[in-house]
Chain A
């Protein structure tokens, strides 16, 4: 009874235990399933996002870009490349001799105790090693030399193209991103063509030559062993494609981060004034984290590629060992031939693995080439016509004939006509967005008109050589840009090879000479980035001196004094009067006090002329000018009160 009771008890215990185990296993499996599902969903989302991101850029990532922009760069260096290839072939050939010497040693030297043959073998190895060293040096020298020359050409081509691109391009592209293109992407290409291509070439030659040797020794065994090669090729091509795709997205992210960084550093004052340092740091770290993940993905894809290649190598070696042994047993091969065959295989497989690992750099390099190619594909909107008119000077007659201009489909200037006589002073006034500055931009061809035409001295401005046109038109902007060199460098920028006397004369006319003389280093004073060491008025007078030295026939003053205080404005106004003497001048003004003396004042409203006449004429009539003038008066009165 007791036994039965105990048995029942144990049965029930076992049942309970099994129930717990099964339920635990079931719950664990459910949890595992859940986790797997979540991982799958997450992976799918990441994939979809990557695919979407990539497909957005896919239309720009076509191989024709590489073919169009990079292959022609190789043409001038054909002989150097040919020399490098020949020396690489010789270098690779020398690697193949050692297994053959081993075969001779096993099949001929050891059985016959042939000392003479052994000596010849040793001397041969020394000589071959000498030849190998010489061609190692020659091939590497030629490859590095050529790749550096090609890089020089890529950077030159890119920079020259960037210089040709219109103002519209720079308004729609971030500077930080462009810098990243020129520095980072070209750097990746440098890595690709200077180191990777050598390895790629060496390994490719070696693979071809070793395969020839294998077929010569025993073609049947070679065929059996090389069955893994297509798998190697598939592995290489698949991961190259994947890594290239991800590299393109990664490089875009790097550019974005560079762009953000440049913006934050430039606007550091705004960041500080709003106490947003922590927020900006958070954004930066979030971006870095994304970049970290992308880098890891790319590196791991490279690791996976190498791992698969290693597995395939192992399979190949095992096949070679098994089949080779059988060939020796059956007397189809000597032991020496088998050792030689196996040694060649030992050279073949590492080269294939190396090729797989190179896929990462090749993929990244081709992604960078695509990005640079995309930049080179950007069309130059404003360019010279064929056989443009060249001129050293203008008389200064400007005629706008039914000019219209639209920016991204929005009409800014509408049917604008005006004739400005040589030496005349014309002023444009109007509210913000009325198209005043656009007219100045059209005159210097920062943009081209979308309808009508602008003529200078009777010729359409599009017929003039652009450098001639811009050389004869001087612009003084509201916020002048100064380079971070000395005062002399900044003024003399206007005229190549200008002397110190010429610079001093321009500075005197611009009313800035005295200030410069007060400085310790005088004209060698460093102004800092964008003239940070100077006040607004000083910067503006320096830019006026720069324009004076340029001595243009037509002058555009684009709100030149509107950012200055009253005292600085008076100083700058004096300088401007010197600058305007004897030139056709277009003044774009915010403060009407600065344009009272203009020969004619044009009031613009929504890109059309609303009123025209001199100051007294316009003031005697009721209209937008009078309204603007009264508003200005009120503003200036308030400022004086303060």
Chain B
């Protein structure tokens, strides 16, 4: 597509909000949260000093 001379140029990309970014990774983040919870539980029951 050719840009017309008087048209405003595309500025930088739109700001990406944290919500969008978190949304993109939501499944991965949930999985890591589950893993982290399991790890905490295991370590708390193992009696490591």
Seen from chain A, the residues whose Cβ lies within 8 Å of a Cβ on chain B are: 76-77, 79-80, 83, 104, 108, 116-117, 120, 123-124, 127-128, 130-131, 134-135, 137-138, 142, 149, 152-153, 156, 160, 467, 496-497
**Residue numbers in B under 8 Å from A124 (CB-CB):** 39, 42-43
Q: How far is the CA of A149 from the CA of B39 in the complex (A)?
A: 36
- A497 B12 Cβ-Cβ under 8 A: no
User: For the complex, what is the distance from the CA of A120 to the CA of B40, rounded to whole Å?
Assistant: 11
Nearest CB on A from B20, distance (A): 9
Contacts of A116 in B (CB 8 A): 46
**A95 to B4, alpha carbons, bound, how many Å?**
52
CB within 8 Å of A: which of B3-49? Answer: 4-6, 9, 12-13, 15-18, 21, 25, 28-29, 31-32, 35-36, 38-39, 42-43, 45-48
Closest to A157 in B: B12
Q: How many A-B residue pairs have CB under 8 A?
A: 67
**B17→A79 contact, CB < 8 A:** yes
Q: How far is the CA of A116 from the CA of B29 in the complex (A)?
A: 29
Task: State the Cβ distance, A559 to closest chain B Cβ, in Å.
Answer: 27
List 30 interface pairs A-B (beta carbons < 8 Å), by A numbering. A76-B12, A77-B15, A79-B16, A79-B17, A79-B18, A80-B16, A80-B21, A83-B21, A116-B46, A117-B46, A120-B45, A120-B46, A120-B48, A123-B42, A124-B43, A127-B35, A127-B42, A128-B39, A130-B32, A130-B35, A131-B32, A131-B35, A134-B32, A137-B28, A138-B25, A142-B21, A149-B12, A152-B13, A153-B12, A156-B9
Are the C-beta atoms of A117 and B16 separated by less than 8 Å? no
Chain A residues within an 8 Å CB radius of B31 = 130, 134
CA distance A183 to B12 in the complex (A): 19
In the assembly, what is the distance between CA of A440 and CA of B21, in Å? 54
Residues of B within 8 A of A467 (CB): 5-6
Q: Are A160 and B9 in contact (CB under 8 A)?
A: yes
Considering the complex, give the chain A residue whose CB is closest to the CB of B16.
Answer: A80
Chain B: minimal CB distance from A102 (Å): 13
- Number of B residues near A (Cβ < 8 Å) is 27
Interface contact B16-A120, CB-CB below 8 Å: no
Chain B residue, CB-CB nearest to A138: B25
Instruction: Indicate if the CB atoms of A127 and B12 lie closer than 8 Å.
Output: no
A108 touches B48 (CB 8 A): yes
Minimum CB–CB distance from B42 to chain A (whole Å) comes to: 5
Q: Report the bound CA distance from A120 to B42 in whole Å.
A: 7
Cα–Cα distance between A81 and B43 once the two chains are bound (Å): 32
Nearest CB of chain B from residue A499's CB, rounded to whole Å: 14
Choose one: B21, B32, B45; the contact of A79 (CB below 8 Å): B21
Residue of A nearest to B25 (CB): A138
Min CB–CB distance B13 → chain A (angstroms): 5
How far, in Å, is A235 (CB) from chain B's closest CB? 37
Given A79-B16, A138-B28, verify A496-B5 contact (CB < 8 Å): yes
A120 to B38, CA, bound (A): 11
Whether A117 contacts B48 by the Cβ 8 Å rule is: yes
Residues of A within 8 A of B32 (CB): 130-131, 134-135
Q: B21–A127 contact, CB under 8 A? A: no
| 6 additional contacts (CB under 8 A) given A123-B42, A127-B38 | A80-B16, A116-B46, A117-B48, A127-B39, A131-B39, A160-B9
Known: A79-B21, A127-B38, A131-B32. A497 touches B4 (CB 8 A): yes
The 4 closest A-B pairs by CB, nearest first: A496-B4, A120-B46, A134-B32, A127-B39
Q: How far in angstroms is the closest Cβ of chain A from B23?
A: 12
Task: Give the chain B neighbours of A123 by CB distance below 8 A.
Answer: 42
Smallest CB-CB separation from B12: which chain A residue? Answer: A153
Chain B residues, CB < 8 A from A128: 39
A132: nearest chain-B partner, CB-CB: B32
Closest chain B CB from A97 CB (angstroms) = 9
- Asked, given contacts A138-B28, A149-B13, A152-B13, whether A131 binds B43 with beta carbons under 8 Å apart, the answer is no
Q: Which residue of B lies closest to A116 (CB)?
A: B46
Residues of B within 8 A of A134 (CB): 28-29, 31-32, 35
Q: B18 is contacted by which of A83, A104, A120 (Cβ under 8 Å)?
A: A83
> Min CB distance, A158 to chain B, in Å?
13
CB distance from A637 to the nearest CB of B (A): 47
The answer for the CA separation of A104 and B13 in the assembled complex, in Å, is 49
Listed residue (B2, B5, B25, B36) with the most chain A CB atoms within 10 angstroms of its CB: B25
- Shortest beta-carbon distance, B17 to chain A, in Å? 7
Judging by beta carbons under 8 Å apart, are B12 and A152 in contact? yes
CB distance from A147 to the nearest CB of B (A): 13
A116 CA to B4 CA, complexed, in Å: 71
Contacts of B17 in A (CB 8 A): 79
Instruction: Tell me the nearest residue of chain A to B27, going by C-beta.
Output: A134
Write out the residue numbers on chain A whose beta carbons fall within 8 Å of the beta carbon of B29.
134, 138
Distance in Å from the Cβ of A395 to the closest Cβ of chain B? 23
* Closest beta carbon of chain A to B22's beta carbon, Å: 8
How far apart are B30's CB and chain A's nearest CB, in angstroms? 10
Residue in A79, A149, A153, A467 whose Cβ sees the most chain B Cβ within 10 Å: A79
Contacts of A156 in B (CB 8 A): 9, 12
Chain B's closest residue to A117 (CB) is B46
Q: In whole angstroms, how far apart are the Cα atoms of A461 and B35 in the complex?
A: 69
In whole angstroms, how far apart are the Cα atoms of A138 and B31 in the complex? 13
Closest to A148 in B: B13
A67 vs B47: C-alpha distance when bound (angstroms): 51
Residues of A within 8 A of B38 (CB): 127
User: How far does the alpha carbon of A156 sit from the alpha carbon of B12 in the complex, in Å?
Assistant: 8
> Which has the most chain A C-beta neighbours within 10 Å: B9, B21, B28?
B21
- In the complex the two chains form, what is the Cα distance from A160 to B13 in whole Å? 16
Give the residues in chain A near B46, CB-CB below 8 Å. Answer: 116-117, 120
Q: Give min CB distance, A113 to chain B, whole Å.
A: 15
Rounded to whole Å, the gap between the CB of A80 and the closest CB of chain B is 6
